[in-house]
Amino acid sequence: MSTRPSDSFDLVEASIADIHAAMEVDRVTATALVDRYLERIDTFDDDLNAILTVNDGALQRARQLDAHFASDGLVGPLHGIPVLLKDNHDTHDMPTTAGSVALQESAPPRDAFVVRQLRDAGAVVIAKANLQELSFGVDTISSLGGATRNAYDLERRPSGSSGGTAAAIAANLGAIGMGTDTCSSIRSPAAFNCLVGIRPTRGLCSRTGIVPLCGTQDTAGPITRTVEDAARTLDVIAGYDPEDPVTSRGASHPPTEGYVAALDATALNGARIGVARQFFGLQADESASEADAEAVTTVLEGALEAMAAAGATIIDPVDIVDIDYLKSARVLRYEFARDFDAYLSELGDAAPHDSLAEVVSTGKIAPAIESRFEETDILGVDADAVDRNVDYLRRLVRREQLTETTLSTLIEHDLDALLYPPSTIPPVRIPDHQPFDEMNCELSAHTGLPAVVVPAGFTADGLPVGLELLGGPFDEPKLLSFAYAFEQTTTHRRPPAQFGELDRRD
């Protein structure tokens, strides 16, 4: 057996800092790194079914970065880092399909704003990941890619809609990943695959060039194996985009020294964490068994004990909002067609269809997603009249009230964060569908407040469980620091056994 320098670098679970340290001492190059991740995709993705398209230009990009490194050092904070994109991020050099056969020829002329930020920082887009088609649901099933499987149990769902990114990052098919979150789409896949996920404050990250589902809720965010890597990625993608005016809200909020600098392994000492018990336990009898919900609650109880041991004050319980009122603020039904049609219009001649209705009418949508359209009135909403729809406007007002109520709760109890499970139950077995009623996604989605998910442990069956921390507007530094302290104290992250290091014998 001969060993090349790149072979001696332990790729599995490698962080951004690990990769850059190895580059500095010539143990790995960007080219070798990309080549090895592509080899892992080729070897393992038949089992996961997480990748839609591999970037044919990734190795050329890596060679250019290596040439720059040899003469001038790192291009930026993500130099040579292989990134997996959920395939609703526009890329000028790859199709952007949203997982739909009807959009497989869609070729955007430019990168999404956050993709451009990643590339400018030195990242290498190596592949685009499967997703719930059009991001419409929480299973990760698409007409173009089929069903993605959970990295820890191939017979179970990875959740969605960013399940392809999450399963692939969990299995070390890329260094870091990008997802989007409308309601649960970053957070539950991260929880189900023993990962870290960030839903940023509304306005912190640009939505330009991302296939929309619901404009007032959509946001991009990182999916990574460590809190530090999530913070490093957020450092890059946070920022003002003149084409997305909502980012004016967040323009002054990224910390001067960056999110990584805010991480503190002792941050839980003195923190006040409120337990949102109303989001624990089975929410709908038909969803699953009480035993399923109890399995998640048991893991969360252990997490709370660990936080208390690290010096946190646990305020348990804390009531926040009326659940029915929270649900009554849903607006996806009103915004989906309007926002999707606007996106297609911006693509111009690159768009294979003119409207969401036309995409659905092709008959090529996956049956599980097509049935969701049949069960709702999304295509019956007059997209041109949404801004005059009284019910829609009332729901937007409810969101403002929900935000005020949540912030008041934080202040009245002197809380640094709220804690609850991203999903009350573990991943379900395929072909069952993950029940949306058990996803605790709406508090963050409807208020625009930030939330961070971090691994909390495993059920007795070996299924990952995550915990979610929610804070005030632009509290990402604080939330990430709490998540980092918990991660460093508990070390719950572990790779799925089935996707270990490849044998690199010559």
Catalytic residues: 86, 161, 185
Helices 163-170 and 30-48: angle between axes, nearest 10 degrees: 110
In the block, which residue shows the tokens 């799925």? 496
Burial class (CB in 10 A: 0-12, 13-18, 19+), 213: buried
Residues 6+ apart with CB under 8 A from 56: none
Could you tell me the sign of the dihedral formed by the alpha carbons of 252, 257, 261, 262, in that order?
negative
Burial class (CB in 10 A: 0-12, 13-18, 19+), 380: exposed
> Hey, what are 52's tokens?
């839609």
- What distance lies between CA 319 and its chain's CA centroid? 27
Would you report the helix, strand and coil content of the chain in percent, each value rounded to 5?
Answer: 40, 15, 45
CA angle 417, 419, 420 (to 5 degrees): 155
- Annotate 339-381 with DSSP letters as a single string: HHHHHHHHHGGG-S-S-HHHHHHTS-S-HHHHHHHHHS-GGGS
